[in-house]
Structure 1
Amino acid sequence: MNALCRLLLANLLLAAALALHAETLQIVDDAGRVVRLAIPVQRIVTLAPHLAELVFAAGAGNRLVGASAHSDHPPAVAKLPVVGGPGRLDLERILLLKPDLVLAWGSGGQQLDVARLTALGIPVLVTEPQRLEDIARHIELIGRLAGTGYEAMRAAFQVREALRGLQNRYAGRAPVRVFYEIWHTPLMTVNGRHIISEAITLCGGRNVFADLAPLTPTVTMEALLAADPEVIVVSGERAQRDRLLAQWRGASRPVAAARGHIYFADADLMHRATPRMIDGIRQLCQDLEQARH
């Protein structure tokens, strides 16, 4: 029996032992898959950085035993074993960690990894944050699975209250046409189904490429000039802020560049569907408000 087979057998025995002392739950995940698992789960592995954050937000950080590459918040996550990232998942390490739940990200290109883990008998729950409400929903779901429902409900309530406060503050503001840049060469943005687009709408903005079909479409400069946004929001790492903004400054078109309405969005906040996204949205709303004056 090779090492992988021994690990698989050990995981199956552990799952069977836990099932004797736990409630069996059957749920449908965001990919429409039926997942059966014993709750409360004791050992969680996450396959995307935002999922590790959500586990901690749900009060289940002590159940997290492994996380994907680039998981760095809260700081305690950085001390956990790294199980790889998209396209390079370390199945053997995951088996060694003996998880009774793996959390995956639907848009993270992990379909093959999900299939492999499921075939090995490991429960995998696929999550897909499409709306801002999903941040709170996923926190509550993790809390339910980990037996930390009270902490999760409290965190979810805080997310919903913060979003409601922003909605009340910026509802009725004059609409502003926004181009949100997630990559510069080639130009890439988000469509109207993306969670970031909902954040733009929450702030009173109008995503100029909302009608495009791909979730993260590539657009030409000609298309951007035709859309003529009043605001350009450039996203990226904080350390690259000045360089990213400089790529647009001094341009005479579109109107956003001509008027100096170029703003920066911290991708660490805006590109992770976690409670910290509220901070990114709050800054976005302030930027759009400044552009109105």
Structure 2
Amino acid sequence: MSGTIKRWVSAAWLIGLLLISLPASAQIEIIDQAGRTVRLAQPAQRIFFAEPGDFTIMAMLEENPARRIVAWNRWRLDKHTLAHWRSIDPVAFDKIKQLVIDGPQNLNAEMLIANQPDLVVLDRFFGAAKQTISRLEQAGIPVAVLNLEADLRERNPTEGLEKMAILIGREQRGREVAEFIDRHVARITQRVATLKNQQTALPKVLMEPHAGIGPCCMSVGSGVLMGDLILMAGGKLLGSDIVEGLSAQLSAEYVIASDPDIYIGTGGRHIEARGGLLLGPDVDPAASLASLQRVTQRVGIAQTSAARNQRTYGIWHSGYPIVNLELIATWLHPELFGDVDPAATLAEINQRFMAKPLTGTFWITPHPTPKAH
């Protein structure tokens, strides 16, 4: 064998060893939020989502989210929100298997397998379905436990969103969304930290979930995202010391005696028929304002400082957490956050990240407090 041939064979042998030792370039791998390794041979194209709000996050990461979704749990979503997401691509949307699953106990593995997903995404609530996860993985279907909606209370609030972006081959977009959210969160939390260090008295806030569907007053508990936004924005959450779980009923007498400085009701179209606080896609501002007035005229709220001083507000239960945090911060501390404009934040989200922005009424500020100049 000539020297040239020997060198060629040797080089080919070395190249072969290098190729064997390198990982497959198409393989995608993450550690999900349950500490499990998730591997895909290529970016996911046929996804099942267990959390209804994950469609919104996908619409921030992907121009046409419907094309990547084979099945979806649309539980609790109103027809107006569904119509909006359908309008992006009606043909692709109508191909999605629309499921209604109210909890992990009803997450059926065989039903999911029949839709042939190449990735099943469960939030932590549905991640409790251990047997279903095991059955799916036995069938060769990867399962990722990820909370896609940014949990602003966490050290890394956008972890789930960023990992999802990797799984669909949109890592750069995921980083852009994460950076935007982190920057806006820091603006609020850094100022609130200074406020607390100064031992400034914090306002008492009554936050009523699904406001107006019953007598005064339900209250969210601490440890629940909407309630914890009050704490992050520099407020005291009324009833947090006695409310266990997601929410609980407070008596009108307790509310009057506690005398909250600020009232914030959460609402949506899902409680419209029950006389609740009306907010959400395609809601007329006048109708929304009228619903807030009905809600705050109930016995218990009407007798508080919040009502007397016209510091009563409404917020869409399904809004972007960062916009909700900014809204609450400006309501609680208008002078401290005089330069924060939640409407501008929402407009930037819509312009930079959303394929088709939601339109409607997502908060009510009937008596805006003048901002410092």
TM-score, with structure 2 as normaliser: 0.59
**How many percent identity over aligned positions?**
19
User: Residue 160 of structure 1: CA displacement?
Assistant: 0.8
Which of 264, 272, 276 is matched with 1:233 structurally?
Answer: 264
User: Residue 183 of structure 1: CA displacement?
Assistant: 3.2
* Alignment partner, residue 149 of structure 1: 171
* Alignment partner, residue 261 of structure 1: 311
Q: 1:226 to 1:103 in 2, by over 3 A?
A: farther
* Alignment partner, residue 247 of structure 1: 295
Q: 1:263 to 1:26 in 2, by over 3 A?
A: closer
Q: 1:236 to 1:213 in 2, by over 3 A?
A: closer
Which of 68, 71, 80 is matched with 1:66 structurally?
Answer: 71
Q: 1:195 to 1:292 in 2, by over 3 A?
A: farther
Distance 2:28 2:170 in 1: 17
Which of 193, 210, 223 is matched with 2:223 structurally?
Answer: 193
- Cα pair 2:262 2:306 within 8 Å, conserved: yes
User: Residue 202 of structure 1: CA displacement?
Assistant: 3.2
What pairs with 1:3-14 in structure 2 (closer than 5 Å)? none
- Cα pair 2:109 2:135 within 8 Å, conserved: no
* Alignment partner, residue 348 of structure 2: none
User: Residue 263 of structure 1: CA displacement?
Assistant: 0.7
User: Residue 235 of structure 1: CA displacement?
Assistant: 0.7
- Cα pair 1:23 1:38 within 8 Å, conserved: yes
Which of 109, 114, 120 is matched with 1:102 structurally?
Answer: 120
* Alignment partner, residue 278 of structure 1: 322
User: Residue 130 of structure 1: CA displacement?
Assistant: 4.8
User: Residue 136 of structure 1: CA displacement?
Assistant: 1.7
Distance 1:195 1:257 in 2: 25
* Alignment partner, residue 120 of structure 1: 136
Distance 1:150 1:104 in 2: 23
- Gapped regions of structure 2 (runs ≥ 5): 1-23, 269-278, 335-367
Which of 172, 180, 185 is matched with 2:207 structurally?
Answer: 180
Matched, 1:86 2:102: yes
User: Residue 152 of structure 1: CA displacement?
Assistant: 0.5
- Gapped regions of structure 1 (runs ≥ 5): 1-19, 270-275
Q: 1:142 to 1:91 in 2, by over 3 A?
A: same
* Alignment partner, residue 46 of structure 2: 43
SS in 1 for 2:100: coil
Distance 1:26 1:149 in 2: 12
**Bigger mean CA deviation after superposition, 187-196 or 150-159:** 187-196
Distance 2:182 2:30 in 1: 27
How many residues align? The count is 264
Q: 1:154 to 1:248 in 2, by over 3 A?
A: same
Q: 1:142 to 1:199 in 2, by over 3 A?
A: same
4+ aligned runs moved over 6 Å, structure 1: none
Structure 2 counterpart of 1:97, one-letter code = N
User: Residue 162 of structure 1: CA displacement?
Assistant: 1.7
CA displacement 1:160-215 (0-9 Å, x = unmatched): 11222333566527621111110343643322222223322333222123334633
Distance 2:174 2:306 in 1: 41
- Cα pair 1:140 1:156 within 8 Å, conserved: yes
Structure 2 counterpart of 1:217, one-letter code = S
* Alignment partner, residue 211 of structure 1: 241
Q: 1:93 to 1:158 in 2, by over 3 A?
A: same
Structure 1 counterpart of 2:175, one-letter code = M
The structure number with the bigger radius of gyration is 2
Structure 2 counterpart of 1:127, one-letter code = L
